[in-house]
Structure 1
Amino acid sequence: MKNIRNILNSRFKSNGNFFMQLTKILGFKPKKIKFYSTAFTHRSMNIKDSKGNAINYERLEFLGDAMLGSVIASHLYIEVPSGDEGYLTKMRSKIVSREHLNELGKGLNLIDLVESKIPTGQFGDNIHGNLFEALVGAIFLDRGYKYCEKFIYKRVIIPYVDIETLEGKVISYKSLLIEWCQKEKKTFGYHVYEDTGNDDVRHFSVKLSINEKVIAKARATSKKKAEEKASKRAFFAFQNSMSKMM
């Protein structure tokens, strides 16, 4: 157990900037530094406790996700007394969308604090949002709900949560399009195929058809991204009708 503690605390002995950077991000001094050390430990470090349990940010990520959802749900419940369950759920999803959490993590440069055996340049965008959630989980364990709530208000709600703006924000154009097609009883389909272009990175192309008519085309570095891009283009073709579902 002592060896594990030494590994987790090594960054503070070798790099005093970690504590300073962390304090600046939090807005207060952490008490139990081990939680924050875990929050920035990637699974590639392969650290385990005396019982063989993995020590990395993934469990804190789960906890932070729950705390974010709780604080934001409470805020929306108070601020939008006319909103029903469906409306409040949709609004909360827009605030804690993966895209938004990734932006928050990037904005705080959380990836600079990660301990990993994998070069940070090889991580996908979701690492930023994962670290933000893990940090929120660490705050809760270190200082409790009130500090966690204060941090979420400072970093998420106050600067980014505007009800009118959120009402017009689309999380997933594909989900919106599918919902609209089902409501309007329209058939739809995504024909995805590997792009044979000369790009260094493999691309995928997609044709989106509605009622057997090709409505939009797109290409991207993954099937998911290509489908989303095509769906976004289709959205603007049917914007007046689909906007009513947002």
Structure 2
Amino acid sequence: MGIIKKIFTKNTRLSPEDGIFFDEIYKMLGFQPLDLSHYRKAFIHRSSNKTDENGNPINYERLEFLGDAMLGSVIAAHLFNEVPTGDEGYLTKMRSKIVSREHLNELGRDLDLIKWVESKVSTQHFGENIHGNLFEALIGAIYLDRGFTYCEKFIHKKVILPYVDIAKLEGKVISYKSLVIEWCQKEKKAFQYEVYEDNGTEGQKHFAVKLKIDGRIIARARATSKKKAEEKASQRAFFAFQEKINKK
């Protein structure tokens, strides 16, 4: 606790809970946090209905916005330096692959960030995106606490070094729906995504989608949102037409 007392000049007395939280954050970041309040806020869900003295809501959403911007800028700078021949379109596409919602959710899950969430709603009712949202909020907290240099250091350690392989990313598909639509338009084929079922309780609603190409049903899929069902159906269609689509 000696180190903690030196760091937290405003709070020389920390509760056992804060001490545990400090240790966990320190271990995760790889450097010492200076102000735990930023990190606490990074895990407050809007359902907690917390406000500051001016009545402004206190939750992780503003930090999520800030973290998204920091993450995007660090990744953009890395790609700019690593791929000197890449044009704007290429760099934009590669950045999208790195900071895709799927990838951010994976990063948030790997760090088990959800265990720190303060919420009036059971975490079982959260969607998958909560993991990525928390990861972005954490980055925002780092920026406020230690500045851009430490923020960049964390992103390099947790995102770039273990996951950014330019060659592999070039072949990674981030949207099967976009590929299928692009191919259909190029080949002048009519396509249609049709929701044919919408059932379940409000908390567990499912959508069933069928993808038609030239009037023929090519794939069906079910998911918890229309967008996810369309993407899943597109993936199945992609593998059905993969050889043709890859020749586009």
Name the structure 2 match of 1:6: none
Residues 48-67 of structure 1: CA deviation (Å, up to 9, x unaligned): 11221111100000000000
Q: Which moved more, 1:74-83 or 1:176-185?
A: 176-185
| 1:161 aligns with one of 159, 164, 170 | 164
TM-score by length of 1: 0.88
What is the CA distance between 1:214 and its match in structure 2? 1.9
Deviations 1:118-161 (A, max 9, x none): 12122111110000000000111111111000100000000000
Structure 2: stretches of 5+ with no match in the other structure? 1-10
SS in 1 for 2:91: helix
Task: Report the CA distance between 1:14 and its aligned residue.
Answer: 5.1
Q: Which letter does structure 2 place at the counterpart of 1:229?
A: K
How far apart, CA to CA, are the structure 1 residues paired with 2:52 and 2:224?
39
Note if 1:186 corresponds to 2:189: yes
- State the partner residue of 2:122: 119
Tell me if 1:13 matches 2:15: yes
1-side partners of 2:115 and 2:205: how far apart? 28
Q: How does 1:34-53 map to 2 (within 5 A)?
A: 34-53=37-56
1:56-205 residue pairs with structure 2 within 5 A?
56-194=59-197, 202-205=205-208
1:13 Cα offset (Å): 2.1
Cα RMSD (Å) of the superposition? 2.1
- The percentage of counterpart residues that share the same residue type is 71
Rounded to whole Å, the distance in 2 between the matches of 1:190 and 1:46 is 38
**Change in CA separation of 1:146 and 1:111 when aligned onto 2, cut-off 3 Å:** same
SS across alignment from 2:246 = helix
Residue 225 (structure 1) shift: 2.3
SS in 2 for 1:170: coil
For structure 1, the 5+ residue unaligned runs are 1-8
Task: Give the partner amino acid of 1:179.
Answer: E
Matched to 2:15, the amino acid is K
The alpha-carbon deviation at position 169 of structure 1 amounts to 1.0
Question: 89-98 or 112-121: which moved more?
Answer: 112-121
| TM superposition shift of 1:116 | 1.3
Aligned length: 233
Per-residue deviation, residues 159-186 of structure 1 (Å, max 9, x unmatched): 0000111111111211221222223332
Specify the SS of the correspondent of 2:188.
coil
- The separation in 1 between residues aligned to 2:30 and 2:205, in whole angstroms, is 43
Cα distance change, pair 184–124 in 1 and its aligned pair in 2 (3 A):
same
Q: Residue 8 of structure 2 corresponds to which residue in structure 1?
A: none
